[in-house]
Amino acid sequence: MSSRWGHFFQYAMADEAASYDLDEDEPRIMENSGLSALSLRRFINAWHDELTDYYDEDFGGEKIIADSDYGDTIIYVLADLRTNIDSTWVPPHIKKKYKRAGKLRRHKLRHQWSYGNPLNRIQGFLIMREVTNSQHANVTMCIDTICSTYFTGKRGIGSDLMVLAKDFSKASGAHDIVLEVANEFSANGFPDNKFSEEEDSEDEFSDEELSDEELSDDEISEEEDSDDEESWTPDDNVMSILTDELWKKCMRKSKEGTVYYNLDQNYVEAGLWNYFHCAHESPSDSQLWSGTERRVISDKDDPKDTDYGGFWYLKGKRSQTELMRFYEKFGFKEDPDVHLDWCMFDDIPYPTMRCHL
């Protein structure tokens, strides 16, 4: 895994026609948006002083912030790295609102739009996971999250992220890229808190299950600190900031002006945690992840409400017609087998799409 990841860090940063030997310190400038593509860690490394000053939290300081280790998850951002821009600048249409606004409203507008908040330089982000498993052993990449911020006037960000995702997957040796079309309907019909209860139960244990040889939390923390004193991993406060800010970039408004999010905030947080902690699904380098489970539709002519093809699937699919057309422009096609047989996703019948490379 890590060898493929490391190889791509050189490739993705370079222009498509350039060689793999370009200096890794030179970010790749994306064609449509003109924004720079770099990993989230590299972005934080470049702006850690400004981030620390703005949020009054530890964004690394003198510690090493680098992609020196890799798990199954990678996060790339498209960012405006220009330094010749006034940090108080806001777009003209926001400036009009700003002049008429009161003190609190002005503060909110600056936080959402100006580069005084360094995270506003991130105008799109991409979370990808390797989902290869023992039940589908061909190397497969998954677009876990793809988002262009609502708070920008730039265009072409989504297209650049799709190009980056495909380049990443090709360089990683993947046979396919898959994705789920997130929406607010497909998860309906399941028992309340079904998925959260499953996750909670995995973390619960009794005192009797702890052996006398296991370390206390304090001892674990001391051991981790001594082993990795110079490297940086976000603490809970910084994780909360990054989760909140990236999730808000996914905000959209309906034609009626209603604010909505297709993604749950916890979903973004999970991607960030897996990335920063270099998490692996597989138990070891020599074993593949076991995967989830195959799904069976008992009656394809009359699927249950919560089946793929059922009522909640159809309602969710109809709500994302334009988004699916966007994915189709980049070679993706809906493929129910990804949900039913590839053992990569949970029960929720989000429409699944596949791009064969």
Domain span holding position 8: 2-80+115-191+235-356
| Confidence class for position 16, pLDDT limits 50, 70, 90 | very low
Helix (H, G, I), strand (E, B) or coil at 216: coil
Among 102-106, 301-305, 324-328, 335-339, the least confident range: 102-106
pLDDT at 70: 84
Alpha-helical regions (H) of the chain: 2-13, 40-55, 92-100, 103-113, 157-171, 194-203, 217-227, 236-249, 265-276, 311-319, 321-328, 336-340
Helix (H, G, I), strand (E, B) or coil at 41: helix
Residue 201 lies in a domain: no
pLDDT tens figures, 47-106: 999 999 999 999 987 787 878 788 999 999 999 999 898 888 777 778 777 777 788 888
**pLDDT, mean over the chain:** 83
pLDDT tens figures, 91-105: 777 877 777 778 888
Residue 110 lies in a domain: no
Residue 265 lies in a domain: yes
Residue 352 lies in a domain: yes
Helix (H, G, I), strand (E, B) or coil at 6: helix
Distance, in Å, from the CA atom of 15 to the CA atom of 20, rounded to the nearest integer, reads 9
Residues in the chain: 357
Cα dihedral angle (342, 343, 344, 349), rounded to 10 degrees? 90
Q: Considering the entire predicted model, what is its pTM?
A: 0.83
Residue 312 lies in a domain: yes
pLDDT tens figures, 127-177: 999 999 999 999 999 999 999 998 888 899 999 999 999 999 999 999 999
Q: What proportion of the chain, given as a percentage, has pLDDT over 70? A: 82
Residue 149 lies in a domain: yes
Distance, in Å, from the CA atom of 154 to the CA atom of 122, rounded to the nearest integer, reads 12
Residue 222 lies in a domain: no
Q: What proportion of the chain, given as a percentage, has pLDDT over 90? A: 59
Q: What single-letter DSSP state applies at residue 288?
A: -
Domain count, the chain: 1
Residue 49, both tokens: 């002083």
The distance in angstroms from the start CA to the end CA of the chain is 19
Residue 220 lies in a domain: no
| Whether residue 266 has pLDDT greater than 70 | yes
